[in-house]
A and B are shown apart, each in its own frame.
Chain A
Amino acid sequence: MSRNQNRLLFGVDRITVITYIALVIIGWLNIYAAVFNEEHQNIFDTTQKYGKQLIWISGATIIAFSILLIDANFFTVFAYGFYGFFIIANILVIFYGREIKGSKSWFGFGGYGIQPAEFMKFAANLALAKFLSNQNILVTQQFRLKMRDLYKNYKNTFVALSFIIIPLLIIKFMQNETGLALVFIAFIIVLYREGLNVGIIIFFLLATILFILSLIVTKISILIILLAIISGASFLFIRRNKKNLFFIAILFSVSAGIVLGTNYVYNHLQNHQKIRIDVLLGRGIVNLKKEGYNINQAKIAIGSGGLIGKGYLKGTQTKYDFVPEQDTDFIFCTVGEEWGFIGSAFVIFLELFLILRCIFLAERQRSDFSRIYGYGVASVLFFHLAVNIGMTIGLMPIIGIPLPFFSYGGSSLWSFTILLFIFIKLDANRLLILR
């Protein structure tokens, strides 16, 4: 018995596992506080969310142990298999799923539901890791744009990006789950680690800044004039030759295109998405009772926590249903209100610690596959952390995605557990493979 257990836990990184367990337990305690009411105090009451969450946690434990029991090669060999399977599941759910809050992304089983989009994350991570580990070099390191280099690496970059973009498109446009779809953007970090040209990332970053600017500035023409002035000035200050002129002209047209395109896209967004952007940017008249309600209530709940909080189960904002979705996407409000700055900082540090630990573990892998997969785990967790916390404190638009290991919900807990424990298994196995 003890020998078996030893073999099962051989090489498993205990620090990661303990952090994981700590997050799940603290998460559950906060779900209990968020849903808590005097009439249902029994923690095993499965009509309540915290009772159900206990069932999900038990399931997650079984899943974690099962993954540790499986041969690590299973995941490398069947990486594409997983990917294909979940792509199909995500398409099928559009036809056979239940419609909840305007998105058809749930397979229902009685009072429980499973969201295949959640599981797409680890499947995509596996596939990406497999694909990238088969290549010698992903993208050129060179900063100078040379048509020859672009062409040579064009195909690999394109395929790698497809692994990310396909699920993103399915989940965004067919299931209408914006939050879950955007998570796939996080894999850009993995591609960066594996050599994606910084120029491309900087380009996207600048594009994003321009995008936000063109939403804030109401007079688009002013922005374009500004761009033209910057372009003209930079041409005057750098060496004046034809090549530079050409380059700046292209840059200017692309920027102007982004500005005009954003304006166009914004005008064609769905109304609630527009409103969310407006709320974040503080544009227009925000109705505090409707659109601005979530974010305002969330901020009040967190802000009222002070240094040490109001005490466990003593939060008033979260208890009286002022904060919507407070057991799932807005779970951090409960933490902020009842545990104060100290509690919030602790939870954020715990999450960050787990993410940094994943990077640390990833860097010590000998196999490319394991390293890439490890970065995938870190990136996905970080994206969730940043967007979730960011929206509750008003630094990000309201995109409904859960806080890893913390929020209520079986699909998210299970998918994060699978994502993380595959990596723990790969890491435990690192000494056995010498690829």
Chain B
Amino acid sequence: MSNNAQLGNRKFIIAGFFCLIILIFLSRLFYMQLIDKSYELDSKNNAFRYLTEYPMRGLIYDRNGKLLVVNEPSYDLVVIPKETKGCDTASLCEVLQISKKEYLKRIKKACQAPNSPRKQSIFEKQMSAKTYAAFQEKQYRFKGFFIQKRTVRKYPKPIAAHLLGYVGEINKNQLEKQSYYKDGDYIGITGIERSYEELLRGKKGTQIAVTDVHNKIIGKYMNGIYDTLAIQGKPLYCSIDRDLQDYGEKLMQGKKGAIVAIEPSTGEILCLVSGPSYDPNLLVGGKERSKNFTTLYNDSLNLPLFNRALTAMYPPGSIFKLIDALIAQNDGLINRNTVFPCQLGYPPMGGKPKCHPHGGGTNLIRSISVSCNSYYSYVFREIVDQKKYPHFIDGYNHWRDMVTTFGPGKRLGTDLPFDKPGNIPSTKYYDKVFGKNSWKSNTVVSLGIGQSELLLVPLQMANVVSIIANRGFYVTPHSVKGIGNEKKIDKKFKVKHFVGVQNQDAYSNVIDGMQGAMEPGGTASANKLKGIIVCGKTGTAQNPHGKSHAVFLAFAPRENPKIAMACIVENAGFGGIWSAPIVTLMMEKYLKGKTDRPDLEKRILEVDLINGKNLLSTEFH
């Protein structure tokens, strides 16, 4: 092979290349194993321990800088089962006050998946300060056990449980999706704690510690160059007013329902009450937490964990007339002087829907003040059957589209999780119920007075009155007005959403009617305030399951409104009796700082509708 002879010297190049690489490797090995002593030190009697440094969760303040949520240190006992050889089990059991059997049970659990005998897992959650001290004293005896410091939430005032939400251990499902968390980590489960989780949680830090055979930490690995510091969570400035929230919750005691107050110009939620509520301090801590949670969860009579303000869908009742009045005026169908007859009911349908005695036919302003059912049955038909549309279905869809711009029928997009959209029935729905072409405007006329399948959540009701207060727009209601020390918020909470009705006269007329409702002869006349012009509207939402729900919407003062509120009290009957006092008392508190009506306040505070105690006498009817 001439070729082979020519290429013969290449064998030396190849072999030389091989030897060269190996020589480099050997020098590197020589350096690592014999010269650089840091590796040896690292492995000396082995073991790193990764200590997670948990950051403090962000604090939560109210709109005036008063603290709503703070943190409290807590100490978890963690174990690495593989390292417990030589641990003084008996005295550990004594310190923790557990039996030997319980000890073995927990060790076994720590060894099974997803835990591992070589990894650390939690042995005892949130030890009391006393236990912690006792443990620390004898720590050298407890091989394989050590303390992990964390913080838990604490609420200086036991209020706003639903709004703030609670923090709990992450579940398996979330654990798989989010790599930031480890088993046993805490995560916001509801409320603000959930929606602002990523800001509140901060960032975990890790320290890599070197330990000796006695499981004692002897120093930092590589002087801590690989350590990361925990970064504290950002503080949140909540838009709620702590005192108003507190007062609202007190007034709501013994009642089921919800109160939502919004600052109309900014969309900031001033209070969000859901009754019955619970003390948020019940849902922190280790053993106590799960016990308390079970108790609250199983309270099927009161459903204290259920956030009625966002998730309970109620028929709006008469308050819905405001929207009808606005749409009809905007479409040019009625004006301030339009009169419709009333014969204790809606004449064309033989007196159904029924109405209450208020002295026959009314004009627009009075129809709102006295809440005439007949008037709004006419108005609803005017809108749906207006000549502009060839078919009433188009009219119906026009009505539905206009209503939707006010918020009902869709999720508002607030910063709180789990809000419900409510419901405005579609034509498809009625086609299914009555059959296609087998229904007309009169069939569904009770929609005009906020009954039948129409459903709103309290937050949407408050948003509607906020729109009226603003005369045509709303800012998406939100519960946080500032994030971190820079107090920034999402831009979407600064956008004005203009609704379908922009006719300013329409708003003036409706507001006149609302003011009239608070005047003598109006439906909420008993609740007129001194010095503040309140514009309100009562509603009585018929409830197929029992007594009607009392609804009241109001904003005040009439010029430059500062507060818009919705209140619903379940199974309480006529809206003027129950909800109106609560709303007006809170407005007094918010705008004046105190109430002029201590007797009324006392009665509302004392009454217990759930258990039927201290019921009001007829004097307020």
Q: In the bound complex, do residue A345 and residue B29 qualify as a contact, i.e. CB atoms below 8 Å apart?
A: yes
**CB within 8 A of A393: which of B19, B25, B40, B47?**
B25
| A162-200 contacts to B (CB < 8 Å) | 189, 192-195
Q: In the bound complex, do residue B33 and residue A336 qualify as a contact, i.e. CB atoms below 8 Å apart?
A: yes
Q: Say yes or no: A341-B33 contact (C-beta < 8 A), given A136-B3, A193-B11.
A: yes
- In the complex, what's the smallest C-beta–C-beta distance from A250 to chain B, in angstroms? 27
Q: Say yes or no: A359-B34 contact (C-beta < 8 A), given A300-B43, A303-B39.
A: no
A389–B4 alpha-carbon span in the complex (Å): 33
A310 nearest CB neighbor, chain B only:
B43
**A282 interfacial contact with B, CB 8 Å:** no
Q: Which of A81-89, A94-102, A116-124, A315-323 participates in binding chain B?
A: A315-323
| A381-399 contacts to B (CB < 8 Å) | 382, 385-386, 389-390, 393-395
Q: In the bound complex, do residue A382 and residue B40 qualify as a contact, i.e. CB atoms below 8 Å apart?
A: no
Q: Say yes or no: A393-B28 contact (C-beta < 8 A), given A137-B3, A321-B118.
A: yes
**B50 interfacial contact with A, CB 8 Å:** yes
**CB within 8 A of B25: which of A136, A289, A299, A395?**
A395
A289–B48 alpha-carbon span in the complex (Å): 10
Q: In the bound complex, do residue A288 and residue B18 qualify as a contact, i.e. CB atoms below 8 Å apart?
A: no
A305–B295 alpha-carbon span in the complex (Å): 59
Q: Say yes or no: A356-B15 contact (C-beta < 8 A), given A192-B10, A304-B40.
A: yes
B7 nearest CB neighbor, chain A only:
A195
Q: Say yes or no: A395-B24 contact (C-beta < 8 A), given A136-B3, A189-B14.
A: yes
A-B contact count (CB 8 A): 111
Q: In the bound complex, do residue B14 and residue A307 qualify as a contact, i.e. CB atoms below 8 Å apart?
A: no
Most A CB atoms within 10 A — which of B24, B30, B32, B48? B32
| A369-391 contacts to B (CB < 8 Å) | 371, 375, 378, 382, 385-386, 389-390
A301–B45 alpha-carbon span in the complex (Å): 12
A355–B11 alpha-carbon span in the complex (Å): 12
Q: Say yes or no: A303-B32 contact (C-beta < 8 A), given A137-B3, A195-B3, A195-B7.
A: yes
**B171 interfacial contact with A, CB 8 Å:** no
**B596 interfacial contact with A, CB 8 Å:** no
- In the complex, what's the smallest C-beta–C-beta distance from A370 to chain B, in angstroms? 12
**B226 interfacial contact with A, CB 8 Å:** yes
Contacts of A278 in B (CB 8 A): none
A289–B118 alpha-carbon span in the complex (Å): 15
A41–B618 alpha-carbon span in the complex (Å): 88
**A410 interfacial contact with B, CB 8 Å:** no
Contacts of A390 in B (CB 8 A): 25
Q: In the bound complex, do residue A300 and residue B42 qualify as a contact, i.e. CB atoms below 8 Å apart?
A: yes
**B44 interfacial contact with A, CB 8 Å:** yes
Q: In the bound complex, do residue A141 and residue B6 qualify as a contact, i.e. CB atoms below 8 Å apart?
A: yes
Q: In the bound complex, do residue B118 and residue A302 qualify as a contact, i.e. CB atoms below 8 Å apart?
A: no
Q: In the bound complex, do residue B33 and residue A193 qualify as a contact, i.e. CB atoms below 8 Å apart?
A: no
- In the complex, what's the smallest C-beta–C-beta distance from A320 to chain B, in angstroms? 6
**B218 interfacial contact with A, CB 8 Å:** no
**CB within 8 A of B29: which of A317, A341, A378?**
A341
How many positions in chain B have a CB within 8 Å of any CB in the partner chain?
39
**A325 interfacial contact with B, CB 8 Å:** no
Interface string of A311-344 (1 = CB under 8 A from B): 0000011001110000000000000110011001
Q: In the bound complex, do residue B1 and residue A368 qualify as a contact, i.e. CB atoms below 8 Å apart?
A: yes
- In the complex, what's the smallest C-beta–C-beta distance from A293 to chain B, in angstroms? 10
**B349 interfacial contact with A, CB 8 Å:** no
Q: In the bound complex, do residue B21 and residue A299 qualify as a contact, i.e. CB atoms below 8 Å apart?
A: no
A396 nearest CB neighbor, chain B only:
B25
Contacts of B208 in A (CB 8 A): 288-289
Contacts of A9 in B (CB 8 A): none
A339–B492 alpha-carbon span in the complex (Å): 65
**B338 interfacial contact with A, CB 8 Å:** no
Contacts of A345 in B (CB 8 A): 26, 29
How many positions in chain A have a CB within 8 Å of any CB in the partner chain?
48
A360–B418 alpha-carbon span in the complex (Å): 76
- In the complex, what's the smallest C-beta–C-beta distance from A386 to chain B, in angstroms? 5
Interface string of B27-60 (1 = CB under 8 A from A): 0111011101011101111111010000000000
Q: In the bound complex, do residue B36 and residue A303 qualify as a contact, i.e. CB atoms below 8 Å apart?
A: yes
**CB within 8 A of A320: which of B19, B25, B46?**
B46
Q: Say yes or no: A395-B206 contact (C-beta < 8 A), given A303-B39, A359-B11.
A: no
Q: In the bound complex, do residue A344 and residue B33 qualify as a contact, i.e. CB atoms below 8 Å apart?
A: yes
**CB within 8 A of B32: which of A192, A299, A355?**
A299
Interface of chain A: mostly helix, strand, loop or mixed = helix
**B22 interfacial contact with A, CB 8 Å:** yes
Q: Say yes or no: A341-B30 contact (C-beta < 8 A), given A193-B7, A300-B43, A303-B40.
A: yes
Q: In the bound complex, do residue A348 and residue B25 qualify as a contact, i.e. CB atoms below 8 Å apart?
A: yes
Most A CB atoms within 10 A — which of B1, B18, B19, B82? B18
**CB within 8 A of A316: which of B6, B15, B45?**
B45
- In the complex, what's the smallest C-beta–C-beta distance from B54 to chain A, in angstroms? 16
**A306 interfacial contact with B, CB 8 Å:** yes
Q: In the bound complex, do residue A289 and residue B10 qualify as a contact, i.e. CB atoms below 8 Å apart?
A: no
- In the complex, what's the smallest C-beta–C-beta distance from A158 to chain B, in angstroms? 19
Q: Say yes or no: A363-B28 contact (C-beta < 8 A), given A301-B43, A306-B33, A356-B18.
A: no
Contacts of A355 in B (CB 8 A): 18
A390–B287 alpha-carbon span in the complex (Å): 52
A371 nearest CB neighbor, chain B only:
B4
**A223 interfacial contact with B, CB 8 Å:** no
Contacts of B14 in A (CB 8 A): 189, 192-193, 359, 375, 378
A359–B24 alpha-carbon span in the complex (Å): 21
Contacts of B38 in A (CB 8 A): 303
**A29 interfacial contact with B, CB 8 Å:** no
Q: Which B positions have Cβ atoms within 8 angstroms of A?
A: 1, 3-4, 6-7, 10-11, 14-15, 18-19, 21-22, 24-26, 28-30, 32-34, 36, 38-40, 42-48, 50, 82, 118, 206, 208, 226
Q: Which A positions have Cβ atoms within 8 angstroms of B?
A: 136-137, 141, 189, 192-195, 288-289, 299-307, 316-317, 320-322, 336-337, 340-341, 344-345, 348, 352, 355-356, 359, 363, 368, 371, 375, 378, 382, 385-386, 389-390, 393-395
Besides the known contacts A303-B32, A306-B33, A320-B46, 10 further A-B residue pairs in the complex with CB atoms under 8 A apart: A195-B3, A300-B43, A303-B40, A304-B40, A306-B40, A320-B47, A348-B26, A359-B11, A393-B28, A395-B28
**A–B Cβ pairs within 8 angstroms, 14 of them:** A137-B3, A195-B3, A289-B206, A301-B43, A303-B42, A306-B40, A320-B47, A336-B29, A336-B33, A341-B29, A341-B30, A345-B26, A352-B18, A395-B25
